[in-house]
Amino acid sequence: MAGDRLAGLDGRGTAVDREEYARLLAEVTAWVEGPGEKWAGVIESTGTVPQTLRTELRERGFLGLAAPRALGGAGLSFTQWMGLMEVFSRSHASIRMIVHVVNGTWRSMNPHATEDQRRRFVVPSVAGDITVAFTLTEPDNGTGADITSTVRRDGDRYLLNGTKHLITFGVDCDYWLLFARLEGSRGKDGTVGLLVARDSPGATVEDTSNTMGVRGTDHARLTFRDTPVPVANRLGQEGDGLAIALGGFLTPSRISVGMSCVGLAERAQELAVAYARRRVTFGKPIAARQAIAFMLAENAADIQAARALVMHAAAQWEAGAGDAAALSSMAKLTAVDMLTRVTDKALQVHGGLGYWKSEPIERVYRDARAQRFEEGTNEIQKAVIAKDLLDRAAAREEADA
C-alpha cells in the first residue's frame, strides 16, 4: 500500500547494539584513513569518481548504512548514522557526497512508495545497485512551490517539460527523482514526484561538473521536451510532490550536511595541528607560538560547539520533535559558519605553502565552500529559523489570550 510505514522504515525506529556500532565505526575509520586517502588522490588527479570506487563502497555496505534492515540496510539509527557521517566527511568530498546522498534518498522515496516501487527503486538504491539523483532545483526558480517544470497526463503516462540544474549525480545515474507540477496548477497542491529513467526520450543531459571543489562528483543541467514518464513511476498521489521532496528528506539531510561540516573541519584541524608541530621557525615549532596555538584552540572549541548542536538536532529529529526542522537549519547554519572559520585558520597556519596543491589543506579549503549552498544557503536557513520563531511566539500569544 502506498505510504505504508513498516517499523523503522522512516529511519527513526531502529538501531544497532553498541558492539555492532563500534565495529562499524572502526571499519569506516580504517577505510577513510587508508583506502579512502588513496582514492582521494585518484579523484583529484582524474577529476572523476571511478566505477571501481563505487563498487567498493557498495560491496563494503557503506551505501546502505542508514537504511533499516527491512530495506536491506544496516539498521542504524539516525544519530548513529551521524557518527559515521562525521568520519566519512574527513575523506574526499566526493566520497562523502556519494554516501550522504545514497544513504538519504530512500527517506524521500520510501514513505510514499508502493510495494512494487520499493522493489524496483528503493531496495536497489539502498543496495547501491542503482543510483537515484534528487532532482528539484531549477535555474529560474527556488526549490519549493515555485517550480515550473510541468507534466500533463497522456493515458498511462505523463509528458514532462522543463529544465533542472545543479543536479548532483545527474549525469551518471539510473533515475532522476524529479519534482514537477501538473500543467496549469499553482502552489504545492499541483506538485508530483516522479522517477524518470536516465535514458528517457526527450531528455537532454549537459555535464556541468567543472566546479571549484568537490571534484569527481558529476552535476548536470537537464532539459525535458515531452519526455514520457509512466504513471506507475509516480510516488504518492498528485499533489504530494513537495511533501516527498521536503518532508522526509530535507530536515535529516540538512542535519547530515551539518555533520559533514564537522567532519571536514576536524580534518582541517588535524592537518593544521600536524603542520604546526613539524614546521620550525627560529628553532621552535610554530605550535609553540601563541598566535598559532590560539588559532588551534579557537578551532577546537568551534568544532565541539557545532558538533553538539548537530547531534542535538539529530536526536530531536529522531524523536519526532516539532522543532526538528528549525533545529536542522540552526545546525546547518552554525556548522557551515564554523567550517568557514576553521578552514580559514587551518590554511593560515600553513602559511603560503597551504595555497599549493601539494598540501592536502588546499583541497579541504576548496571543498568546504560547497557546503554553504548545499541543502539551502545560510539565508534560507535564517528564513526557516525566523519563521519557526515567530510562529511559536504567535501561537503562545494566542494561547494566552
- Would you name the residues annotated as active-site residues? 375
Angle at 111 between CA 105 and CA 117, to 5 degrees: 75
Which residue's C-alpha cell is 521536451? Answer: 225
* C-alpha cell, 375: 541543502
Centre a 10 Å sphere on the Cβ of residue 357 and count the other Cβ atoms it contains: 9
CB 32 within 8 A of CB 26: no
Amino acid at 58: R
DSSP 48: B
8 Å CB contact between 220 and 207 = yes
In 181-323, where does DSSP find H-type helix? 241-242, 250-278, 290-318
Please tell me the distance from the alpha carbon of residue 136 to that of residue 150, in angstroms, as a whole number.
12
Q: What is the DSSP string of 205-239?
A: EEE----SSSTB--EEEEEEEEEEEEGGGEES-TT
Q: Is the dihedral of CA 51, 22, 10, 331 positive or negative?
A: negative
Amino acid letter at 105? T
Question: How is 88-103 classified by DSSP, letter by letter?
Answer: HTTS-HHHHHHHHHHH
Contacts of 34 (CB under 8 A, 6+ apart): none
What letter would DSSP give residue 365?
H
Q: Which residue has the cell 542535519?
A: 255
